[in-house]
A and B are shown apart, each in its own frame.
Chain A
Amino acid sequence: MKFLIAEDEIELQESIAKYLSKESNLCEVASDYLEASEKLEMYEYDLIILDINLVTGSGLDLLKALKKQHKKCAVIIISANNSLENKLEGLDIGADDYITKPFHLAELNSRIKAVLRRGKFGGDAELVFQEIRLDTIARAAYVNEEPIVLTRKEYDLLLFFITNQGRVLSKSIIAEHLWGDDSDMLDSFDFIYVHINNLRKKLTTEGAKYLQTAYGSGYIFTAE
Chain B
Amino acid sequence: MADQKKIHLLQKASKTFLITSSIIMIFSGVALYLSLKSLLENEIEEELFSNKDRVEHLLISKPDLQGIPPIMVVEKVKDPQPAVLNDTLIYDPLQDEIELFRELSGTKEINGQEYKITVRAMVIESENILFAIVFTFLAIILVAFVFLFYLNKSRNAALWNPFFKNLAKIKAFSIKSETPLTLTESDIIEFDDLNREVILLTTKVHADYQNLKQFTEDVSHEMQTPLAIMQAKIETLFNGVKINDFQYEQLDSLQNDIRRLKNLNKRLIILAKIDNNQFADPQFVSINELFQEVLLNFKELASIDFKIEHNEELTVKMDRSLAQVLANNLISNAVKHNLENHPIKVNFFKNSVQIVNSGNSELAHPEQVFDRFYKESTKRDSSGLGLSIVKKICDYYGFTPSYSFTKSPETTTGFHTFKIRFTH
CB nearest neighbor in B for A151? B300
Among B109-117, B258-266, B404-412, the one that faces the other chain is B258-266
Closest chain A CB from B290 CB (angstroms): 14
Assuming A11-B233, A103-B228, A215-B249, is B301 touching A191 (CB within 8 A)? yes
Chain B positions within 8 Å of A80 at CB level: 221-222, 224-225, 228
CB nearest neighbor in A for B230? A102
Q: Check A15–B232 contact: CB distance below 8 A.
A: yes
Q: Check A181–B328 contact: CB distance below 8 A.
A: yes
Residues 153-194 of chain B, each 1 if its beta carbon lies under 8 Å from chain A, else 0? 000000000000000000000000000000000000000000
CA distance A172 to B328 in the complex (A): 19
CB nearest neighbor in A for B302? A191
Residues 120-155 of chain A, each 1 if its beta carbon lies under 8 Å from chain B, else 0? 000000000000000000000000000000000100
CB nearest neighbor in A for B237? A168
CA distance A11 to B297 in the complex (A): 35
Residue from B269, B297, B302 in contact with A186 in the complex, judged by beta carbons closer than 8 Å: B302
A182 contacts the other chain (Cβ, under 8 Å)? yes
B395 contacts the other chain (Cβ, under 8 Å)? no
Assuming A12-B232, A101-B224, A105-B235, is B328 touching A182 (CB within 8 A)? yes
Residues 75-108 of chain A, each 1 if its beta carbon lies under 8 Å from chain B, else 0? 0001011111100000000000000111111100
Chain A positions within 8 Å of B236 at CB level: 15, 18-19, 105
Closest chain A CB from B60 CB (angstroms): 125
Assuming A82-B269, A170-B252, A215-B248, is B239 touching A22 (CB within 8 A)? yes
Closest chain B CB from A169 CB (angstroms): 8
Q: Check B262–A102 contact: CB distance below 8 A.
A: yes
CB nearest neighbor in A for B335? A185
Q: Name B224-248 residues within 8 Å CB distance of A.
A: 224-225, 227-233, 235-236, 238-240, 243-245, 248
Assuming A11-B233, A80-B225, is B278 touching A170 (CB within 8 A)? no
Chain A positions within 8 Å of B231 at CB level: 102-105
Residues 184-228 of chain B, each 1 if its beta carbon lies under 8 Å from chain A, else 0? 000000000000000000000000000000000000011011011
A57 contacts the other chain (Cβ, under 8 Å)? no
Q: Check A172–B252 contact: CB distance below 8 A.
A: yes
Q: Check A19–B239 contact: CB distance below 8 A.
A: yes
Q: Check A168–B238 contact: CB distance below 8 A.
A: yes
**By the criterion of a CB under 8 Å from any partner CB, how many residues of chain B are at the interface?**
46
Chain A positions within 8 Å of B300 at CB level: 153, 179
Q: Check A216–B245 contact: CB distance below 8 A.
A: yes
CA distance A214 to B252 in the complex (A): 12
Q: Check B227–A185 contact: CB distance below 8 A.
A: no
Q: Check B381–A187 contact: CB distance below 8 A.
A: yes
Q: Name B313-339 residues within 8 Å CB distance of A.
A: 321, 328, 332, 335-336
Q: Name A175-224 residues within 8 Å CB distance of B.
A: 176, 179, 181-187, 191, 214-218
CA distance A184 to B298 in the complex (A): 12
Q: Check A168–B239 contact: CB distance below 8 A.
A: yes
Residues 375-387 of chain B, each 1 if its beta carbon lies under 8 Å from chain A, else 0? 0000111000000
Most chain B C-beta atoms within 10 Å of own C-beta, residue among A19, A82, A191, A217: A82
Closest chain A CB from B262 CB (angstroms): 6
Chain B positions within 8 Å of A111 at CB level: none
A61 contacts the other chain (Cβ, under 8 Å)? no
Q: Check B256–A172 contact: CB distance below 8 A.
A: yes
B255 contacts the other chain (Cβ, under 8 Å)? yes
B350 contacts the other chain (Cβ, under 8 Å)? no
Closest chain B CB from A163 CB (angstroms): 14
Chain A positions within 8 Å of B336 at CB level: 185-186
CA distance A143 to B399 in the complex (A): 52
Residue from A9, A170, A218 in contact with B229 in the complex, judged by beta carbons closer than 8 Å: A9
Chain B positions within 8 Å of A18 at CB level: 236, 240
Most chain B C-beta atoms within 10 Å of own C-beta, residue among A100, A103, A153, A179: A103
Chain A positions within 8 Å of B238 at CB level: 167-168, 170, 218
Residue from B229, B240, B298 in contact with A12 in the complex, judged by beta carbons closer than 8 Å: B229
Closest chain B CB from A98 CB (angstroms): 14
Q: Check B381–A15 contact: CB distance below 8 A.
A: no
A162 contacts the other chain (Cβ, under 8 Å)? no
Q: Check B266–A218 contact: CB distance below 8 A.
A: no
User: Which residues of A approach B to under 8 Å, CB–CB?
Assistant: 9, 11-12, 15-16, 18-19, 22, 78, 80-85, 100-106, 153, 167-168, 170-173, 176, 179, 181-187, 191, 214-218
User: Which residues of B approach A to under 8 Å, CB–CB?
Assistant: 221-222, 224-225, 227-233, 235-236, 238-240, 243-245, 248-249, 252, 255-256, 258-260, 262-263, 266, 269, 273, 278, 297-298, 300-302, 321, 328, 332, 335-336, 379-381
Give me 12 A-to-B residue pairs in the complex whose CB atoms sit less than 8 angstroms apart, sorted by A's number.
Answer: A15-B232, A82-B266, A83-B273, A101-B225, A102-B224, A102-B229, A105-B232, A168-B238, A185-B301, A186-B302, A215-B245, A215-B249
Starting from the known contacts A19-B235, A100-B224, A179-B300, 10 additional A-B residue pairs (CB-CB under 8 Å) come to: A101-B225, A101-B227, A172-B252, A172-B259, A173-B235, A173-B255, A176-B259, A182-B328, A185-B336, A217-B249
